[in-house]
A = this chain, B = another copy of it.
């Protein structure tokens, strides 16, 4: 039975999510190579050591380059802020490691392309953390689109809105440092753009309004001194898909009240789907042409009939959570390394998503449609 030595760089929000997922991956996906939890690295060694203990990894390091150099490590997760993604990923690729990198892949399109090309040249497996499309109901949605159950697709309305930046008195943070690239359109927008691509296919052209609503923020909570905000906090985009239909996409991190409004309404000539991550175990499906008296939106609840739900629980109705989606993501990634089907989204796909982001920003500046 093949084993894969796992390393994680970073111990924050996503570092923890990756650790949970690697620990659970084999339990959910018996056929994948066995993940051997080798090392966690963090610039703060104490944090790394604490994480390694807590998440059951064998070793800790205060220097991520040790991980790159370690021959027992086959797979590296990069979960640091995105300004570090390129350097770490390229080093890992150069060392022949398979790389999972959190999104956004990098602050600039050029860097992301370089990362994708390096990985492809080296023939290693990459993946980027677009976890929400790992939902079994999203897989079902895609199958339904592909099978023509919705007829011709006539529209897609997508949104990813949260409110963690809604308070104008909320302080300036690294998240809005422009050296990290654009703001909400990269952070949340990339999720819903990726979801749109996953379901409907490539986006050909955009006309966008990308703006900064909260113009300045205190340098710290309660401080009088304020600092200008140089990245966007709302993006609204008209999209033209390559397959011919239109749609809209919104990314918004000042959407007061919303904690996870990542959702869409996808309409076709014969049916439609409605989804929101706020109720991630439900998918609404309308099929035209049924008996009019009893027709309407069906609330589909996730169950074992929607793979790979059954790997987590044999009975329907028990529900998956966010960490389970992350486990599916890692299970598929390790499976692909083991020779299984290509899982994705890989670096190339992340680059394609970023192209839509950049085209939207360009469109907003030019106040016109821009080809992706």
Contacts and interface: CB of A to CB of B under 8 A. Distances in A.
A84 interface: no
Contacts of A245: 213
A313 interface: yes
A267 interface: yes
A124 interface: no
Interface string A231-274: 00010101010000111101010111111100000011111100
A214 to B, nearest CB: 8
A30 B16 CA distance: 12
Nearest to A238: B209
25 contacts: A1-B53, A16-B313, A20-B24, A23-B27, A26-B54, A154-B166, A155-B252, A207-B209, A211-B246, A236-B247, A236-B248, A254-B267, A257-B271, A257-B296, A259-B317, A287-B294, A293-B300, A293-B306, A296-B301, A297-B299, A298-B298, A312-B321, A318-B321, A318-B322, A323-B324
Copies of this chain, tallied across the complex: 4
A279 B247 CA distance: 25
Nearest to A26: B54
Determine the main DSSP class of A at the interface with B.
mixed
A167 interface: yes
B13 A27 contact: no
A319 interface: yes
A280 interface: yes
A248 to B, nearest CB: 5
Interface of A: 1, 12-13, 16-17, 19-20, 23-24, 26-27, 30, 34, 50, 53-56, 140, 144, 150-152, 154-155, 157, 159, 162-164, 166-168, 207-209, 211, 213, 234, 236, 238, 240, 245-248, 250, 252, 254-260, 267-272, 277-281, 285-288, 292-301, 303, 305-306, 312-324, 367-369
A257 B27 contact: no
A93 B118 CA distance: 58
